[in-house]
Amino acid sequence: MAKTKHPSYYSRKFLNKTKGTAMIEIRADISAYSMDGTITISDCYRKTELDMHIYDKKSLKEKSDKLDLLIKEIEFARNQVGESAKVPSIFFGGGTPSLMEASDIKRVITAISERFELEPNAEITLETNPDTVTKEKLKQFYDAGVNRISFGMQSSVLHVLKTLDRTHNPENLPQVTKWANEVGFKEISVDLIYGTPGESRQDWQQSIDSALALPITHISAYALIVEEGTKLAAQIKRGEIAKPDDDLTAEKYIMADKAFTAAGFNWYELSNWAKPNSQSKHNLAYWLGHNWWGAGPGAHSHINGKRFWNVKHPNLYKQKIQADETVVLDSEILEGSQIESERLMLSIRLPQGVEKNTLNNQQILELTDYVNSGHLDEENWNLGRATLTLDGRLIADRIVRAILL
C-alpha cells in the first residue's frame, strides 16, 4: 500500500507556510496553552472576523484589565470596518476559555453587539474542557449568550490522553454533555484526535463509540501532527515513543467516517462531521475563504486580500493599546496567485469541491487522472465539479499539489 498522508496533513503544512492562516488549524493544535483563550467573531456579510486572546486568570483586576484591552481593540476594529458590519458567529476557543467567568463572556458578547450588528441567529461557541464545568456553570454560559458548546474530548482512552499530555477525565464527558443538553444547548460538539503514538485500532474505535454515545450534533476529528520542537517530537526522536504510522492514521480516518456517517453525521469539511443543519459557521468561515479580523496578542487577520498580525508579547500589546498605538506588527498584500492557490486548497476540502470552469486546461488534465483512479467523483466531474471521494480525501494534499504546480 502506498504511503498516504491523513486529511489534515496538507492543510496544516501548507497553511503554516503562509502568514496569517496558521490559526485555521489552531483547534487541532495539542500544544495550546491551558490558560489561554481565543475569541473569534466572524462576519460573512462584510467578511470580517475578530480573534482575541485572553491570557491568564490570576486576579479579578488583571482579568478586568485584559478585557478592557480586548474591548478597546474591538472598538478599533469597528472603526476600521464600520459599525454596519453584521456578525453571524463568535467563537471562544483555544486553550481553556471555559475557565473564564460567564460574566466575562457576557461582557465580551455585549461589547461586540454594541459595536456591530449581531445577527439574531448568531452562532456563539465556547470551547470547553470537560473537567472545568458544572451544570450550574454551563447554565451561566448559556444565559450569557453562548448557544453552542464544544468539548475537548480528544480520546476516551487514558493512555492516549497521557501521551497527548491531556489531564481531563474521559468519564466526565457523558455527564457534562448531558448537563449541556439539559440547560438548553441545542448544538453540542466534541473534538477528537487520532493517530496518537501507541493508539491502537481498538483504542480509536473505543473513542469513536464513546463520542457517538453522547447527545451531540457535531464532531471534529483531527489527525495528530507531530511538530518539531514539541515534547512529543523530542520523545519520538529519543525513541521513547514510536512515530505515528501514516497508513494506520489513514485507516483510522476511514473508520471514523464510516461510523459517523452511519450515525447520521455528514462530512462537510475533511475533519468535520455534523447532523443536518448543525455545521459550524465558524469552521465554514475559514474553508469558504471569508475574511476575518484578529484582536489580541499574536492574533492574525485577513481583510479583502490583506493579512496583518499583531505583536505577540502581552506586555507590548498592552503598552500599545494603552498608548493608542497600532498593535499590528506587520502585514502583506496577497497576490492573485496566492489567493487562487488558497481557494483551491480550501475548496477541495469541502463536499462541493471546485468548479471545473474555474480551472485551466492543465489543471483539468491533471485532475482527470484522479477521476480515473477513483479519487475524484466521476458523476460530479461530468456535472462540472471536482469533488473528493472517500479515497480522495486521504490524498487531498497530493491532489492539490498537482493543480498548484
Q: How confident is the model at residue 244 (pLDDT cuts 50, 70, 90)?
A: confident
User: Predicted confidence band at 392 (pLDDT cuts at 50, 70, 90)?
Assistant: very high
At a CB cut-off of 8 Å and minimum separation 6, what does 308 contact?
20, 300, 301, 328, 330, 331, 332
Q: Residue 57 above 50 pLDDT? A: no
Relative to beta strand 48-54, strand 86-93 is unpaired
- Average pLDDT (206-214) is 98
For the stretch 71-128, pLDDT in tens is 999 898 888 887 777 888 888 876 688 988 999 999 999 999 999 888 889 999 999 9
Q: Which pLDDT band, with edges at 50, 70 and 90, does 170 fall under?
A: very high
Please give the DSSP secondary-structure letter assigned to residue 156. Answer: S
Q: Which three cell numbers stand for residue 144?
A: 450569557
343-355 in b/e form (b: 16+ CB < 10 A) is ebbbbbbbeebbe
How big is the chain by its Cα radius of gyration, in Å?
21
pTM, two decimals, is 0.84
Q: Give me the residue spans of the domains in the chain.
A: 22-287, 337-404
C-alpha distances (whole Å) from 217 to each of 11, 43, 50, 107, 186 are 25, 23, 25, 27, 8
Spatial separation of the C-alpha atoms in residues 191 and 131, rounded to whole Å = 15
| Confidence check: pLDDT of 11 > 60 | no
- Of the candidate ranges 53-62, 79-88, 192-201, the one whose mean pLDDT is the lowest: 53-62
- The mean pLDDT value for 323-343 works out to 92
Q: Are 320 and 296 in contact (CB under 8 A)?
A: no
CATH of 22-287, one of 3.40.50.720, 3.10.180.10, 3.30.750.200, 3.40.1620.10: 3.30.750.200
Mean pLDDT along residues 370-378:
98
Q: With cut-offs at 50, 70 and 90, classify the pLDDT of residue 61.
A: low
Could you tell me the three cell numbers for 50? 475578530
Confidence check: pLDDT of 294 > 80: no
Mean pLDDT (the chain, rounded): 83
Higher pLDDT, 181 or 339: 181
Of 183, 185, 154, the residue nearest 170 (C-alpha): 154
